Structure 1
Amino acid sequence: MNQPFTRHRRLRQSAAIRRMVRETTLQADDLIYPLFVTEEKNKKTEVPSMPGVYQFSLDRLNEEVGEVEKLGIPAIILFGIPSEKDACGSQAYAAEGIVQRAIRQVKHAFPNMVVIADTCLCEFTDHGHCGLVKEGDVLNDESLALLTKTAVSQAEAGADIIAPSNMMDGFVYAIRNGLDEAGFTDIPIMSYAVKYASAFYGPFRDAANSAPAFGDRKTYQMDAANREEALREAHSDVEQGADFLIVKPALSYLDIVREVKNETGMPLVAYNVSGEYAMVKAAAQNGWIDEKAMVMETLISMKRAGADLILTYHAKDVANWLKGS
């Protein structure tokens, strides 16, 4: 007897059939793993608000990168924690800065690992803001010169990709010009094009020691209520020379991920941020959720929304799960 409806369940009858018709997949090649590097000695210090995430001293860094490489994760992004900070974040662009030394070390030991350098000043300034500050205001144009200087120093150290996260107006334009003038025309820019002023960043500030000493970052990071502004930001960065676009955070902004992908067609990175990670870890430690199932569903949702790559603290766990470990 003919039925007045379609039997969609026919394609859900077994795990094998479900795999055959699956529209979205997740693999280790989609992952970027964040690493925090300090200037201490023989340190692997767990971040209290991010179980399973550590700050590594340079002499312990290679063991972690080696594990990442064995898992098939193709890329890391480096965040530096300097021993000294000042008003202009000079250690961000110092030739022997912590990030520059880490880049050289990783590229020497693991030449096939893609090393992405986070390009910002907040981890290096004594006030914790992402640019120069004068009388309580974060200066835009004056900060661009130091951000460009930072990007060039990271490229000189061997970074494969520059990832500016500062949200100053014109930062992609300034950094692209600076890289080109320094001879780094082939170094791509992975722009934090759409970065919201989010409550989900709290644990990261523990990990990177980068909480602002006064005020907040709402004058340069985006208002969580805004959608069209995100598209304007993304288009600006494409016009200025960005090669990848990042949407940060990811989970509460999947609508933005999809719209930016549809609007630009650019390689898109979803940043599964520290607060998203910490919530899952806390719930898992309390036995409230199936951690593996929730993480995999969350990351698949980011891919389904349009992300080509996912920057996530879950990367090692996910790579192990994909291997069946």
Structure 2
Amino acid sequence: MKAHIVTLPGDGVGPEVTAAAVAVLKAVAERHGHVFAFEEQLIGGAAIDACGEPLPAAALAACQAADAVLLGAVGGPKWSDPNAPVRPEQGLLALRAALGVYANLRPLQVHPALAELSPLKNERLQRVDVLFVRELTGGAYFGARTRSADAATDECKYTVAEIERVVRRAFELARDRRRQLTSVDKANVLETSRLWRSTVQRVAADYTDVTVEHQLVDSMAMLLLTRPSAYDVVVTENLFGDILTDEAAALAGSLGLLPSASLGDGKAGLYEPIHGSAPDIAGKGVANPVGAILSAALLLRHSFGLDIEAAAVEAAVDAVLRDGPHSRDIGGSAGTTEVLAAVLAALDALADSATAFPSGARACG
């Protein structure tokens, strides 16, 4: 197949991990006879420095015309003034809204070789396999804001249509997994959560083959640490999802390991590791590229329908997490290029092996 991919390296370690993900996509294209054309654009602090705005019109137009978008990270101390009229994060929020990517998928699995890195006891990490589905274009992040000398407001607003579309996506994903859906809200206090819960209950009538439970967000924060293996697909609103998925990332041992896919109604999507720009290690060549590489695997699967290629990338990453080399955030000493080289070597080693995709194996996302 032929496809056009826009890359948005962004800030901090974003360019380093994005380059690794692009190298893997190029290797996949070469091995499987695809043609991927890459176009790099600016976003975040880098765009503010170059153009005075966090999402230049040229970058937005390129993303809207692309078959998929691969993003690194945005932000950093240079642009961290909370009173600044223009901030890097504004570019990311504007991009999500413009692309209509309302469903953010964040798969979480705990690799056996890295279980010791988790703050939880190993016995609580057995069989942890959760897919978070976070509503991405509504709620407090996109509501009206006010600010005076002594007060501020952030509006949290949801419509039935916004809730229903992401909830239906979560139900469909649950059908392809263990058919368990947990909806997270704060319905004992918030009116938006009461609307959320009633909408989930109504939509559930169309998915009687999926078991549904409701959890309050504060209880869910505790339950993710006490019995994480009990959950399959977790769907929630924007702010709650942002917080819960960062909490859950600690179970895997490092933020650097986890990918995400932001999807709308079409095939095009926005793919990025969940970690931030990590300015303290930017430019040192030590960033963990695994989250970005696994985001590229999600890109192959969800935007291009290339399940075999996506599974090959995931199998190669699995081999490297099992055998090394490991980056510093997961207890090793390897740099970004060393981890990338190992993933590429594992792709080669697995290419003709029937064991690359064992019977019954299920890939993330």
TM-score of the two chains, using structure 1 as the length reference: 0.31
Larger RCO of the pair (alpha carbons < 8 Å, separation 6+) = 2
TM-score of the two chains, using structure 2 as the length reference: 0.29
